[in-house]
Structure 1
Amino acid sequence: MSVTGPSRALGRVFDRVADAYDAARPGYPDELFRALGEMSGVELTGATVVDVGAGTGISARALRERGARVVALDPGREMLARLVARNLSSSTAEPRGQGVVVAVQGDGNALPIRDGGADLVTYAQSWHWLDPAASVTEARRVLRDGGAIAAWWNTTDAGRADWLAAYEVRLAESCPTYWGPALPEWNVPQIAAALPVEERWLRWTRLVAVDDFLLDLRSHSYMVTMPQEAADELVAMQRAELLRVFPEGVLTVPMRVYLAVGR
């Protein structure tokens, strides 16, 4: 399926940082997938899952490891190239009984999936980039009876660590297009406004090297839009401040995942 309009532009934005995204974006805790099965009523083993905005495959791989057949859809050619490379490099080491991942370049507002072909449609860090009405209409079209729509977002939990709150404030002060917990109006994307959902917050902790944490920062859209010199200066400032608090170079980052499931 060809990708046009806003989806193609979005694909170009993240294609520019595909390597950073693939190397440094965090995964998800096991509890997320346990909660997903409980809230959706869908057993992941053997399920057909359309993972919209799959990026480099962080969520798609986790779903595959739990036995799902995953259609990983993304508008970004370079993002999907990383997903395919990861999938191929790990396929020979996978135990029998695990699922599969198929990469498809496409638009989440016009899914290239037949009616009633999926048990789950998922959006990991992605639903907010789509048209709220069109994307949910398409998700409903491709779901079988008893299927579910699920969206989740990893966020840092700045309220649990002063150093992290200060880090977010520095981002807000230095990056004109910053969107995050340092802003009083910030919130996770409200998919609940588009369909009835059950919601849950899950806490976890990420251990990560300072340089990987800052590589993750570079993969965010508000950093991509900054002039390169300004972005480099911001990263250097953040590195100095983080190393002052964590001189050993390893961060303990409080995280939380917001999960919303509509059945």
Structure 2
Amino acid sequence: MNAPSQLVAYASQTAEPSSRWAVKERAAIYHVKATPTPSPARILVIDEDAQSRSVLVSQLKALDLEPLAVPDSLAALNVITYQAPDLILIACDGPDTAAYKTVMRLVVVSHARQACIPIIILASERDVFFWQLCLDDDIVDVLQKPVRAEKLQVSLGLWLDLPPSVSHEPGESLPPFEDTPQWYQACLAVEIQAYEQALAEHDNILMVHYAHRTHGVALVLGIDRAAKLADRLEQSARGHKPLKPDGIRKTLAALKAAITHHFV
């Protein structure tokens, strides 16, 4: 006879998980969004004089701007092609053909990049008045060399996000080189003669240039009819309202007559 089966119970010990292999709870991670630091505005400085470039670079760095100094327009065009600056400072010795063509090249390249880069001209005391006649949507200001830091800051502040100037220096009016009727009349004669030469050479860029300057001087003098006629020549050279050769000749004759009548 078989003995009844008995269940034998063995004491068992519940195993505790080893802390060695325990999965650690991930520490809480707090994401803090850093405030992005705005990049400083890039200022293209064009000046063939090394000492002047150095002074301008120091003035711009003091305003927390990023200056990029080059000695000539060729280097400037390469810079603009690579990365357009926020503003251009260009030193011009005079309002001559070469200087104006240099500025116009910068304007053309700026527009080709679908950008409107403000251009500030740095000119001598004698040339400031002439360059002021060229002010438009591209050439936005003219400063007299050597440029003082306060005036540079005020001018840049119109186009860039800069802290307000702490200087309370009153603005200075820069008179023309010689404020006499004879001087203005001589200036107009030179501008018209230069326009006629550009017309003979079929140089539309210079035709726009000299017609624009004539228009500016006429406005300064309050010669309304001369200003309208000069503007007509400028718009024609720009291709907005082109005139036929006979129309240009008649407009020029009327312009000269209006100027002569004013100074009689």
Bigger Rg, structure 1 or 2: 2
Task: Give the helix-richer structure, 1 or 2.
Answer: 2
TM-score between both structures, scaled by the size of structure 1: 0.30
Question: Relative contact order: is structure 1 or structure 2 higher (C-alpha 8 Å, sep ≥ 6)?
Answer: 1
Task: Give the strand-richer structure, 1 or 2.
Answer: 1
